């Protein structure tokens, strides 16, 4: 009986280690999947911009419009706070 207890204890340690490794591998795989998706989108965006120069101009116009709108909203918000 005394010999079986250390073997069971070792067996439990091995099972726990295997579960820990499986969990760590799963987390790493999920992180790699996220990075792969990000890389794919970056590549897609790059190819889209490179093949359609008008898109860059449109994006810059859109960004300018957004910044003007944001500035106006901040100005109006400050006026509301002063009232």
Provide the whole-model pTM. 0.48
69, 76 contact by CB (below 8 A): no
pLDDT at 1: 47
Instruction: Looking at the structure, tell me whether residues 27 and 43 fall in a common domain.
Output: yes
Give the per-residue pLDDT at 3.
56
* In a shared domain, residues 39 and 57: no
Q: Identify the H or E element spanning 83.
A: none
More confident: 2 or 79: 79
- For position 4, what pLDDT does the model report? 60
Taking the C-alpha atoms of residue 43 and residue 37, their distance in angstroms, rounded to an integer, is: 10
Note whether 47 and 70 are same-domain residues: no
Residue 38, domain member (yes or no): yes
Same domain, 57 and 35: no
For residue 36, the enclosing domain spans 7-51
Do 47 and 13 lie in one domain? The reply is yes
Q: Which residue has the higher pLDDT, 74 or 55?
A: 74
- Does some domain include residue 2? no
pLDDT in tens, 6-51: 788 888 999 999 999 999 999 999 999 999 999 998 888 888 777 7
Chain CA centroid to CA 3, Å: 50
Copy the structure tokens of residue 69.
């709108």
46 and 63 together in one domain: no
Q: Would you say residue 2 has pLDDT above 60? A: no
């Amino acid at each position: 009986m005394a010999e079986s207890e250390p073997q069971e204890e070792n067996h439990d340690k091995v099972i726990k280690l295997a579960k820990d490794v499986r969990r760590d591998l799963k987390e790493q795989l999920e992180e790699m999947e996220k990075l792969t998706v990000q890389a794919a989108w970056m590549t897609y965006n790059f190819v889209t911009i490179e093949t359609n120069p008008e898109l860059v101009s449109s994006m810059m116009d859109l960004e300018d419009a957004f910044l003007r709108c944001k500035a106006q909203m901040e100005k109006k918000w400050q006026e509301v706070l002063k009232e």
